[in-house]
A = this chain, B = another copy of it.
């Protein structure tokens, strides 16, 4: 067995940000970029940028920097974005509607196939061009379309029920916007996006600015 190198989760978040920035830089036709310039662009430090990238390989050239196009490709590979990800959205309410047409997802290669909701007045309609199906059609849909990721945008009370169906259907990952802690088996990866928690961390930091 090889040596297990353990990569900080924070490194992954930052690399995703580097990627978004580098796409912009590449669009501007810039060929090479240094760790210092990347750091400048994303609000970090040069050493951190180098360390983050070096976890995955030696992509740069000493004395020169990184080739933007190549680095972009490497990072997409690292993040698993060289393949397309098929995603479903659960919840056709306000948040679901916003997420269904969020540009940032499409731009980064995420493909939302359908939306699911338990409101029969919505089922059969379209949400920003996406079909809305009933939740009881979800398990079949996931298996037939080999959906990898479910985005949960339902009220907290329903979130675990939805998660249970996703789990049964052998989903690989869940992005959870419901303000509740989901119980899932360890082979299913969950990531929580907790809007109120973010706001509360902000208020804490405001109140304790000086300290």
| A window 171-202: CB within 8 A of B | 172-175, 179, 181, 183, 187, 189, 191, 193-202
Q: Does A101 touch B at the CB level, under 8 Å?
A: yes
Which residues of B have CB within 8 Å of A197? Answer: 13, 16-17, 20
Closest to A44 in B: B181
Contact pattern, A 196-210, Cβ under 8 Å of B = 1, otherwise 0: 111111111111010
Q: Does A126 touch B at the CB level, under 8 Å?
A: no
A94-B97, A200-B108 as given contacts; A206 in contact with B80, CB under 8 Å: yes
B173 and A81 within 8 A (CB): no
User: In which size bucket is the chain A interface?
Assistant: 35 or more
Q: Does A41 touch B at the CB level, under 8 Å?
A: yes
Closest to A193 in B: B198
Q: How far is the CA of A93 from the CA of B197 in the complex (A)?
A: 23
A41-B181, A201-B12, A211-B4 as given contacts; A195 in contact with B104, CB under 8 Å: yes
Q: How far is the CA of A201 from the CA of B209 in the complex (A)?
A: 29
Q: Does A149 touch B at the CB level, under 8 Å?
A: yes
For this complex, 26 residue pairs linking A to B, each with C-beta atoms less than 8 Å apart, are: A4-B211, A12-B200, A12-B201, A12-B204, A13-B194, A13-B197, A16-B197, A16-B201, A17-B181, A19-B200, A20-B196, A21-B181, A79-B200, A79-B204, A81-B203, A93-B98, A94-B97, A95-B98, A108-B200, A110-B196, A149-B202, A149-B206, A189-B205, A191-B199, A193-B195, A193-B198
